[in-house]
Amino acid sequence: MTSASDITFAETDLDAIASFNGRVAVVITPSGKMGPGARRANRLTKGALKRLVESEAWEKMKPGEIKTIGWPTGMEAEALDVLCHERGADQVDTRKAGAALARARGTAPLLVLGASVRRMGDFAQGIALRSYAFTARKSEPGKGFGAVTVMVTKPDEAREMATAPLAIAEGVLMTRDLVSEPANHLTTMEFADRIKALEAEGLKITILEEADLEKLGMGLLLSVGMGSVTPTKVAVMEWAGGRSGDAPLALVGKGVIFDTGGISLKPAAGMEDMTMDMGGAGTVVGTMKALAGRKAKANVVGVVGLVENMPAGNASRPGDVVTSMKGDTVEIINTDAEGRLLLADVLWYTQETYKPQAVIDLATLTGAIIVALGHEHAGVFSNDDSFADKFIRAAGNEGEGAWRMPLGDAYDKLIKSNIADIKNVGGRKGGAITAAQFIQRFVKQDMPWIHLDIAGAARVDGETSFAPKGATGWGVMALNRLIADQYEGED
């Protein structure tokens, strides 16, 4: 993983361009306008850039696209990447431009002649987001990514512009690392330790152990982990950057480090993907890291349930009835519908303990949401239209897909139980919706609430604009934007 700290800003040094070893990138507008660095590169290459921007090929170039000149004459660089970028580009397009350069450079050191880039923070964030590979479990991880130097006229100003965007990128990268880790390495104990380490960044961390959860009456959460030798935990992260006494926004995440389905065992094919079933918790942790990193002026609490769902002689069985922290009883029809059990207890605990002004839960909850929305959007369920609209707007502004899904009394009928207050599944039809209806039962009256089903968005089979194949870190930027837009205040 490349840390955002590997991106540095320096004053433009035209004499250093010729001798740089690695890749050099120049930024040129669609009209062919060059900055000082591009003009020097053009002279070094004996007019190659000028010939390019006056060619028919350049006329067909779209903003964000790159033409590469390999082993350019007059330069030590292995390549000269020419980025077509409009100076007035918006946040997402500027971020995509930075990501395109990161993709083109591979792992080589990169010198960017960036005088033509206005939104330098977004540009640098794009480079950081795309400079990612999970290699921690390879016997030979490789050399990693080379450093990135961005030359600009005013490096101090650019550095300041990039501080918050790069802190957010660090949160995204942490989420990707967590989602990518295999379950024998990211145990509930290790997950809790990594969260505990965030105390160094100013977060207040509390870890609740099984004995604590039993005293609290979290029967649903504990039932999920009964078949595992790995202890069930709840981790709480508090960021108090807002006004003293203001109720926090609460983020709640599903952290099932591995999901076999329990007694309702999943098919073998594809079960290895269930290492990512802690994606909701991973997103919450990454968001809290981002908030601390940029010193957000908001009060936010993140609470994640950490558990492993395994089959064993003492595991929960289909037909068992378990009592929640709230006091409602649940008939477990399918032990593979465990995420909603975890969320029910952790949501109730969060509301009872922290009295939040609003709550958002995140979970890789259902395959049904992938059938409905594919991998382009997360499903958004909410009891509050205004709250949902604000989140969807924030996600859209960050280029993260989110789509509103319905709720309704008719779906509640599908999860009625004959022997308990409620059952944990409602059949195949509307599976993502009935899961949300189940969770809503554990949201207090008049509490603004959003449930995000991120099963399709948390990890993808192909690369995206900002990430290689695998974990995406979806949601960190959307949640951060929501908090920045709606919950920031003076401390």
Q: Give me 217's structure tokens.
A: 């009456």
Residue 444 exposed, middle or buried by CB count within 10 Å (0-12, 13-18, 19+): middle
Q: Report the alpha-carbon distance of residue 2 to residue 110 in Å, rounded.
A: 13
Find the distance separating the first CA and the last CA of the chain, reported in whole Å.
Answer: 34
Which H/E stretch holds residue 385? helix 385-397
Query: Where are any strands of DSSP class E within 241-355?
Result: 249-259, 299-309, 321-323, 329-331
| Long-range pairs of 38-43 with CB within 8 A, sequence gap ≥ 24 | 38/113, 38/116, 40/14, 41/17, 41/72, 41/75, 41/80, 41/113, 43/74
Task: Check 340, 390, 459, 481 and give the catalytic one.
Answer: 340
Q: Which residue has tokens 């433009």? A: 12
- Please state whether beta strands 204-208 and 233-240 pair in parallel, antiparallel, or not at all (unpaired): antiparallel
Annotated active-site residue in 39, 266, 295, 317: 266
Print burial letters for 362-371: b (CB count within 10 Å at least 16), e (below 16): bbbbbebbbe
Q: Is 137 part of the annotated catalytic residue set?
A: no
Torsion angle of the four alpha carbons 204, 209, 212, 218, in this order, in degrees rounded to the nearest 10: 100
Q: Helix (H, G, I), strand (E, B), or coil: what is residue 1?
A: coil
Q: What angle do CA 232, 251, 467 make, to 5 degrees?
A: 90
Q: Copy the structure tokens of residue 245.
A: 């006494």
Give the amino acid at 300. V
Number of other CB atoms surrounding residue 190 within 10 Å: 17
Amino acid in the structure at residue 277: D
188's tokens: 């509930």
DSSP state letters, 97-157: HHHHHHHHHTTS-EEEE-TT-S-HHHHHHHHHHHS----TTSSS--S-PPPEEEEES-HHH
* Catalytic residue flag (residue 340): yes
**Which residues are tagged catalytic?**
266, 340
